[in-house]
Structure 1
Amino acid sequence: MNEKTIKSKHIFKGNIVSLRVDTVEGPNGITTREIIEHVPAVSILPFKAPDTLYLIKQFRKPTEQILIEVPAGCMDKNESPLKAATRELQEETGFKAKTITPICESYMAPGFCNEYMYLFIATDLTKDKTNFDQDEYIELAEYSIQEALTLIEKKEIIDAKTILSILYLNHYIKKF
């Protein structure tokens, strides 16, 4: 069932992603695989009990639309997932959290990409100042859990990490 890599050719190397083409041998013979190599990432859902969560709105060029998302970003080299989540929370929302709880880990698009994401929920929030990256234009929005679930049903929240985080929070709310 596994595929044996015969050769790999790097096509493009960027700051966040790289593209390589692997020639592989599998059960049905030799073929190629186009693979996006992506640095690890984190996402963090800010939650204020009993029923308030904070999401961000930002334009995403690959989708050509404004998406409603949990704050997220790439991990810096040698940075722990928890440290990266803490940094992204403050940068994108201006919040600091007394408690940051890991909820799950996931490959984001394993059919062609090795991006691995660590998902967190932040609680016991205090407001500080934002520190956006130079190319970020972000709007912070507040929702009840039910409002967020309705936005998922209406396909207004269509980002996988955000949907997963909201559904997790809704299912396990007593933990937070």
Structure 2
Amino acid sequence: MSKFEEKTTRSERIYEGKIINLKVDEVLLPNGHSSKRELVEHPGAVALVALTAENKLILVEQYRKALERSIIEIPAGKIEKGEDPAYTAMRELEEETGYTADKLELIQSFSTSPGFADEVIHVYAAIGLKKSESGAVLDEDEFVELMEVTIDEAEDMMKDNRIYDAKTAFAVLWAKQKLLNENSTYPKL
């Protein structure tokens, strides 16, 4: 129990959607006062740091309606109900990129927006990449362009905001550090 814990005294779900649910909780604050919290419930997601044999990072460009523009990201996707995150990661890697991996290594799991959402994203390193026989198989409402870039090119994309999301910025910095550090504790890709 945390000294800052907020005890929920009432909770009302106000929206149930395909990807998210919204609820409003009334909470009792540590000082005895009450407040309201508007919260997003999300099933979680996965993302992949996939480096080719030439140390190029596999990225996808896609339109993000919330931002009203396209951004460049690492491959990622929502965890389906009952799905293990590692399974989701393998599925999303092949669906979005047309690549498969011999294995995955969990790099880090983290909260994306803890001020209002419970989403946790699991970032994996895809090890032993190879092109799949089927190629990319996108959802009917998914439109992406695949690209392979150097870490320097990815850093330039961060500088000019083509890479604009936290998971991809994290992935670029992790990949750069991994490539710079020969004694890395992470497996060789």
Q: Could you say which residue in structure 1 is the equivalent of 2:22? A: 19
2:142 to 136, 139, 164: 136
Q: Is 2:69 the counterpart of 1:65? A: yes
Q: Could you say which residue in structure 1 is the equivalent of 2:152? A: 146
2:11 to 2, 8, 11: 8
Which residues of structure 2 form unaligned runs of 5+?
none
Residue 50 of structure 1: how far off its partner (Å): 4.2
Alpha-carbon distance in 2 for matches of 1:25, 1:99: 45
Length, aligned pairs only: 176
The one-letter amino acid of 1:54's match is I
Alpha-carbon distance in 2 for matches of 1:21, 1:103: 33
Identity of aligned residues (%): 38
Q: Could you say which residue in structure 1 is the equivalent of 2:121? A: 117
Which secondary structure state, in structure 1, belongs to the residue aligned with residue 60 of structure 2? strand
Q: Could you say which residue in structure 2 is the equivalent of 1:88? A: 92
Alpha-carbon distance in 1 for matches of 2:139, 2:54: 31
RMSD: 1.2
The one-letter amino acid of 1:42's match is V
Residue 172 of structure 1: how far off its partner (Å): 2.0
Alpha-carbon distance in 1 for matches of 2:44, 2:62: 21
Which secondary structure state, in structure 1, belongs to the residue aligned with residue 11 of structure 2? strand
TM normalised by structure 2 equals 0.89
Alpha-carbon distance in 1 for matches of 2:54, 2:139: 31
Residue 155 of structure 1: how far off its partner (Å): 2.3
Alpha-carbon distance in 2 for matches of 1:15, 1:155: 29
Which residues of structure 1 form unaligned runs of 5+?
none
Matches within 5 A, 1:158-169: 158-169=164-175
Which secondary structure state, in structure 1, belongs to the residue aligned with residue 89 of structure 2? helix
The one-letter amino acid of 1:76's match is E
Q: Is 2:105 the counterpart of 1:101? A: yes
1:62-107: CA deviations, max 9, x gaps? 1110010011111112211111000000000000111322100000
Alpha-carbon distance in 2 for matches of 1:167, 1:81: 22
Residue 152 of structure 1: how far off its partner (Å): 1.3
The one-letter amino acid of 2:137's match is N
1:38-60: CA deviations, max 9, x gaps? 01110112111342111000001
